[in-house]
Amino acid sequence: EPEVTQTPSHQVTQMGQEVILRCVPISNHLYFYWYRQILGQKVEFLVSFYNNEISEKSEIFDDQFSVERPDGSNFTLKIRSTKLEDSAMYFCASRININQPQHFGDGTRLSIL
């Protein structure tokens, strides 16, 4: 069964540095998402992406964050000037259309030191 693939599985970064989290959605999917889960807290929606643009974003997704689909297969989340509170598990998800459920990757654990 096709899967959403996320790399790396664990990223350790110094505070203030930029980090890029990578996702390869399922190949025929058209809607893409990023969520995050801070340890001990709920899974939170960050951003959705459709037709090469952001379709919705949460209050968390401020100017520090950006997303890109650079080559038709990858979907990336960039976090600039990382802060300690950015430490979390970041999940990528995709779906084929708005009526189908989202499929999630295994996540990237981001640790900011």
Partner 1 sequence: AQSVTQLGSHVSVSEGALVLLRCNYSSSVPPYLFWYVQYPNQGLQLLLKYTTGATLVKGINGFEAEFKKSETSFHLTKPSAHMSDAAEYFCAVSEPAGNKLTFGGGTRVLVKP
Q: How many beta carbons lie within 10 A of that of residue 13, not counting itself?
A: 16
Scan residues 26-45 and list those touching partner 1 (CB under 8 A).
31, 33, 35, 41-45
State the Cα angle at 107 between 59 and 14, rounded to 5°. Answer: 75
- Is residue 66 part of the contact set for partner 1 (CB under 8 A)? no
What lies within 8 Å, CB to CB, of 27 at 6+ separation is 2, 73
Of 70 and 101, CB closest to partner 1: 101
- Is residue 53 part of the contact set for partner 1 (CB under 8 A)? no
The contact set with partner 1 (CB under 8 A) reads 4, 6, 31, 33, 35, 41-45, 48, 55-56, 58, 91, 93, 98-99, 101-107
